[in-house]
Amino acid sequence: MWVYVARRLLAIPPLLLAVSFITYLLLYVAPGDYVTHLKENPAITEEALGELIRKYGLDGGFWTRYGHWLANAVTLDFGYSFKYDLPVFSLISERLSNTLLLSVTSMIAAWSLAIPLGVLAAVYQGTFIDKIAGFLAFFGLSIPRVFYALLAVLFAAKTGWFPTGGMRDQIEWDGFTPWERFKDVTHHLVLPVFVIATAEMASHMRQMRAQMLETLGRDFVRTARAKGLGFWTVVWKHAFGNAVNPLVTQFGYSLAALLTGSFLVEVVFSWPGMARLTVDAVFSQDEPLVMASVIMATVMLSVGNLIADLLLAAIDPRIRLE
């Protein structure tokens, strides 16, 4: 097992190198740069622009600039943001934690509902429970996430039951106790998590139902029932472990999908995560900030896939033996 983990970890650096090279190349060949945007401001002199070009090394060629960035990135120094003139790592660390809070909470909510609902829909195929689950899946997959988020904001504005945006109370936050801060953040989390988790739950629930239906029809399930085992014992102890394997393999991809999908929801709900920071960095061509954001997303995808493989090996002895 440890050899497998080490082999997977050793595959991450070449992947990061390839992703960083392609991303930097796209930024380099894109028309203009950060200084080009500043030239539109008449208050900035040519001398100031020249100083910025020298400061950020924008007068060098592609290999010079990329090599300089790579040499610093190896030491986890992602440089300074052009736009904010602050260390990139300090800018990303807080925003990334906010995005992870939203994404991980949404993932827990989606999977906690999708798996039992998918199992129940398969067990009670054709009944009212199955039809309710099918309606939820249709509802979650048919409505675009951005439109769904806008509807949720409208609902919050009309009812006043939930905040329409932000992550916390901007006025009373400093006077809150730790418990009150926890409740306030949780209150702000409800609608964004509901929007993100609904679509994820619908997708996983449909696959869980399909896999469970196929597994319940196999010979070993009928054999277990013929031996006199209880119905729910067969469902959860024998059928579930085999049916859930394909969903576990999707864990890494679902984590990446949640990160990208939460970006749109963050913009609608004004959630202070990576979304607005990354979008602003792309439009202003803030190279260090864009590069760090892409590298962080790639690392999350790689770690998610590794966790998915480890979970799959933990629940399936055949894979663990391989």
Residue 44: what pLDDT?
A: 66
Q: Is the pTM of this model over 0.75?
A: no
Q: What is the pLDDT along the chain (322 residues), one digit of tens a residue?
A: 667 677 777 888 888 889 888 888 888 787 766 666 666 666 666 676 676 667 666 666 778 788 878 888 888 877 777 777 778 888 888 788 888 888 888 888 888 888 888 888 887 887 888 788 888 888 777 777 778 788 888 888 888 788 877 777 777 777 778 887 888 888 888 888 888 888 778 878 887 888 787 777 777 777 777 777 777 777 777 777 777 777 766 665 666 666 666 777 877 887 787 777 787 788 777 788 888 888 887 887 777 777 767 766 666 555 554 5
For 281, the 3-state DSSP assignment is helix
Task: Give the pair of three-digit tokens for residue 269.
Answer: 């709900």
Residue 261: what pLDDT?
A: 62
Rounded to whole angstroms, what are the CA distances from 263 to 28, 197, 294?
24, 14, 13
Residue 320: what pLDDT?
A: 55
Task: Give the pair of three-digit tokens for residue 93.
Answer: 């660390």
Residue 9: what pLDDT?
A: 78
Question: What are all long-range contacts of 83-89, with beta carbons under 8 Å and residues at least 24 apart?
Answer: 83/34, 83/280, 83/281, 83/284, 83/286, 83/289, 84/289, 88/288, 88/289, 88/292, 89/292
CA distance 1 to 3: 5
For 26, the 3-state DSSP assignment is helix
Cβ atoms < 10 Å from Cβ of 138? 12
- Domain at 92-321, CATH homologous superfamily: MetI-like (1.10.3720.10)
Rounded to whole angstroms, what are the CA distances from 5 to 205, 248, 263, 306, 316?
30, 17, 30, 8, 17
Q: Where are the domains of the chain?
A: 2-74, 92-321
